[in-house]
Structure 1
Amino acid sequence: MTKTALKSDKSPRLKLYGRIHSLMAEGNISDEIYRDILFVNFDGAESKSSLSERQLLQLIQHLETLVPGKQRRSYPGRPHNMNRPGQSRTDQLEKIEALLTIGKLPWSYADSIAKQMRLADKVAWVKTEDLYKITTALRKRAQKEGWDLSGETK
């Protein structure tokens, strides 16, 4: 293989490495904190070279949450008003509860959705901004099974 072939093979990883280093600089993240993040979040990994490309992307997402002003929406095309200010955590949990009641499902079903989506082990632990994902999953099941949602308000 030529040097250019080797360089092009590693190009995606090198770009990810560069992004990691720039986020560390922007967030003023020390090497010690960075190593702790690797160890805790990636099963004892000691360096980024031992991570897969998918794990590198997860690391970048994690570092972006630590950099002020760098938090990005996970779905760029998602409407801005989806999580309206009037929709508090309580409102969203009540909506989930209502959907579970209509479908005659226990709370453990919503917990299993949260766990399957890798949000948390229980709905109670899911971040407020991610609760809509569980509501959406329940609505899709309602649509598939033909639940009567005529009394539901958007």
Structure 2
Amino acid sequence: MPATSTLAKIHIAKKQLAMDDDTYRQMLESVAGVRSAKDLTPIGAAKVLRHLEKSGFKNARQHGRRPAAAGADRQKLLGKIEALLAEAKRPWSYADAMAARMFQIDKLDWCDADQLWRITAALQKDANRHGR
């Protein structure tokens, strides 16, 4: 049986790709020869994950996790930061590194609205510089 985290990723991918139960089970059977994820071997689970990624599943760990947004101002700023990072094909860890470099704060989550605004401005200047 595959690790619990692998099974969780498979179920997250199923939800992200909006697969109904019949389609999901047919995919499991065609890719790994089983009708239920609990019957997957570790190798079968890896095959299924690869297939789901080829089908469009975006693993959150590839780009990191969006920071928590408490308040409308923070939410708008984080949305703009997310858009600028996506446009530049950069992960959330890039913004964390900016916070560390600019404010000596390890995580973007811990920045206040003014600091988030300054990070947004820096990302926008970078986008303008690179013609995005």
Greater relative contact order (Cα < 8 A, sep 6+): 2
TM-score higher than 0.5: no
TM-score normalized by the length of structure 1: 0.38
TM-score normalized by the length of structure 2: 0.44
